[in-house]
Amino acid sequence: MNSDLKLALEMADAADAISMARYRALDLQIETKPDFTPVTEADRAVETALRNTIGASRPTDGIIGEEFPNTNEDASRTWIIDPIDATKNYVRGVPVWGTLIALAIEGEPIVGVVSAPAMGRRWWASPEDGAFTQDVDGSVRKISPSKVQSLTDASFSYSDAVGWDLLGKDSLAKITTAVWRTRGYGDFWSHLLVAEGAVDIAIEPELQNYDMAAFIAIVVAAGCKVTGVQGQSAMKAGHAITTNALLHDQVLGLLN
């Protein structure tokens, strides 16, 4: 196994222990950040633990995280972490949340781990190893996207209706009326379901790098395609359009 992926999986184990210990705790400490999004003591504790591990194991690597300032920003190797993605779900007791850990080389994610302990699920990937998931029963399987070739047969997932005008006028309506099925699985899960072949298209119009770096590494290793609306790097675009690859040009054509 890729040594960086091995480290990321070990960090995910540590993150799960911290986040699950405070999940649904009646005395969970929650604050509102300047951007009006919530942050909990668990978010900060997880990110602190991950930063400490990276600092000890990979001292020259950069770190980008949601809760604390970036470090070693000029490094070619950068760890990108979201300690608890979908914090709003976490604080309400909805199990769709997870720790996102990625290693990017020159800005593009190549190693990714998404661990969702309340769902009993985990996904991981590297270019050498491919993409895998661990199911609720503990079994591990290699994942790959669907073979759906027509939008009229496609299943599409997203998070909510906010921000879609950034992808063009009526962009959400264009997609939902063109596909066979629409569901709001939301957040990282939408994109990882594409990697598994359970969903064919996932789109998020507003994302930070720490929201998507981990799932980008996984969906690419699985054989999916992920870009911005103009076909550019999703990391540079600030949004992500993930497809089974066969549908990608059709989706971009619809949005453009």
Q: Output the domain CATH number for residue 173.
A: 3.40.190.80
Task: Judge whether residue 165 has pLDDT over 90.
Answer: no
How crowded is residue 233: how many other Cβ atoms within 10 Å of its Cβ? 12
Burial class of 198 by CB neighbour count within 10 A (0 to 12, 13 to 18, 19+): middle
Return the pLDDT at 168: 84
Res 180: pLDDT: 98
Task: Report which residue type is found at 156.
Answer: F
Looking at the structure of the chain, the number of domains it has is: 2
CB-count exposure of residue 38 (10 Å: 0-12, 13-18, 19+): middle
| Residue 86 confidence (pLDDT) above 80 | yes
- The more confidently predicted of residues 54 and 27 is 54
Instruction: Specify the pLDDT at position 140.
Output: 98
Judged against a pLDDT cut of 90, whether residue 33 lies above it is answered with no
* pLDDT, mean of residues 174-197: 97
Of 142, 168, 190, which one is at a domain's C-terminal end? 142
Answer with the residue of higher pLDDT: 25 or 47. Answer: 47
User: Looking at the structure, do residues 216 and 122 belong to the same domain, yes or no?
Assistant: no
Q: Which residue has the higher pLDDT, 193 or 66?
A: 193
**Structural domain for 63, as ranges:** 3-142
Residue 165 C-alpha from the chain's centroid: 22
Residues 128 and 36 grouped into a single domain: yes
Confidence tier at 31 by pLDDT (50, 70, 90): confident
